[in-house]
Structure 1
């Protein structure tokens, strides 16, 4: 509970400091010099002003990522670790220096990747399986600059969110060349908010 409150307080403070008018940031390109900033744990919220996805939290659910909709799917073996279980009610990521991981405690971790259909995805706990032709090495993170509250998480070709069905929010995709996105899909900036603890035992 303590870490949950700390994270939510940090997010609220960051939102209060922001102008809340951010437009999608330019996507990094394949020729960009990698940013040496390597963050620890961080949460992500979307930014696309005057849209239904503006300032929604990125949520890990069922192996995919969403903006809005139900909370994250998480698990912790309480009977084994007891009070050591993280709260599991918000999504935390780690890394961002080419590769991206889930902010979890489970041995072996969980890796994030962009699947062949473009869906931003993550591996199951205790499994390293990633579908063939997935992209695992095109992520980067920019640290906050000039007193700004947020940093940025990038995928080289950008992120897009598409309606996932009633009550399910918007599913997040990487804008890969072989994916077709409808007119109701929206590009967005992924704003990062640092936190000092993992979000779940596993997602």
Structure 2
């Protein structure tokens, strides 16, 4: 798929401004650093030295964004030719797994797994294989959640679809059912070749600690920051990184 190159003005509402207000404090007594005529906290920003001037780019999900002629972006979905941003190629076919990325969190690098018709950071995938289908399930990884563009990578008749619920949660249908509870957006997120996985309209992802029904343990549930949805302060932002797979199914069905 050919990348489309856009002038930076088109992305004005999507990208983070590099402008920052100088901090009116005694910098000699703080851990702030200088970037041109601006002071910043290394915990929240990084200084990108460009051809024209220094630019502050924020640290998002534990990772500093890159600078493209004054606009900050993540290479998980964009690339820069020096003066303009190009959206990276989106995945149009094939299967993939997802891992969580946020170097500031203990779950960094953990797989994103399917269980209870939702997606979770870490833990194990919940799968099922009926005894009357023979040994076919021995060929599946089973504890690895594999998905495609809008579907679970399974072989159960009728398949299993992925969708977004009204609270921003990423969910999937039960086997032998087309019911989509609290449907907000049909289909999965936007996956980029060799990049990241984002919400249905390119929204950032977030994970929140919840206690699944029937459990007394806390787990990290996956959501997208859908417009109008508010999340508690206990939630943490993350990137979901795409990893291509060369198999068509990860399980007979996910449960």
TM-score range, shorter chain: 0.7 to 0.9
Q: Cα distance 1:88–1:168, how it changes in 2: closer, same or farther (>3 A)?
A: farther
Tell me which residue corresponds to 2:112: 58
1:83 aligns with 2:135: yes
1:27 to 1:192, Cα distance in 2 relative to 1, 3 A:
closer
- For residues 76 and 23 of structure 1, what CA distance do their matches in structure 2 show? 43
| SS of alignment partner, residue 94 of structure 1 | coil
Listed as ranges, the matches of 1:1-203 within 5 Å are: 22=63, 25=74, 35-69=89-123, 71-77=124-130, 79-85=131-137, 86-95=140-149, 100-131=150-181, 133-137=183-187, 139-144=189-194, 151-155=195-199, 156-165=202-211, 167-197=217-247, 198-203=249-254
Distance 1:121 1:138 in 2: 9
**Alignment partners' CA distance in 2, 1:138 and 1:60:** 13
Distance 2:128 2:238 in 1: 29
Q: Distance in 2 between matches of 1:136 and 1:39?
A: 18
Could you tell me how far apart the structure 1 residues matched to 2:158 and 2:109 are?
Answer: 31
Cα distance change on mapping 1:191 and 1:124 into 2, 3 Å: same
CA RMSD between the two structures? 2.6
In 2, distance between residues paired with 1:167 and 1:133?
Answer: 27
Any gaps of 5 or more consecutive residues in structure 1? 1-20, 145-150
Unpaired stretches in structure 2, ≥5 consecutive residues? 1-61, 66-73, 78-85
The structure richer in helix per residue is: 1
Query: Which structure would you say has the larger RCO, counting Cα contacts within 8 Å and 6 or more residues apart?
Result: 1
| 1:159–1:26 CA distance, 2 compared to 1 (3 A) | farther
**Greater C-alpha Rg:** 2
Alignment CA distance shift 1:160-1:87 (3 Å)? same
Query: Hey, what's the Cα distance between the residues in 2 that align with 1:163 and 1:190?
Result: 17
Q: Size of the alignment, in residue pairs?
A: 169
Q: How big is the shift at 1:22?
A: 4.9
Tell me the alpha carbon deviations over residues 41-73 of structure 1, each in whole angstroms, 9 at most, x when there is no partner. 11100111111231111010111110023x111
Query: Could you give the per-residue CA deviations for residues 135-158 of structure 1, whole angstroms, max 9, x where no partner exists?
Result: 1246221112xxxxxx32121212
Query: Residues 179-202 of structure 1: CA distance to partner in whole angstroms, max 9, x if unpaired?
Result: 221122111111011112211100
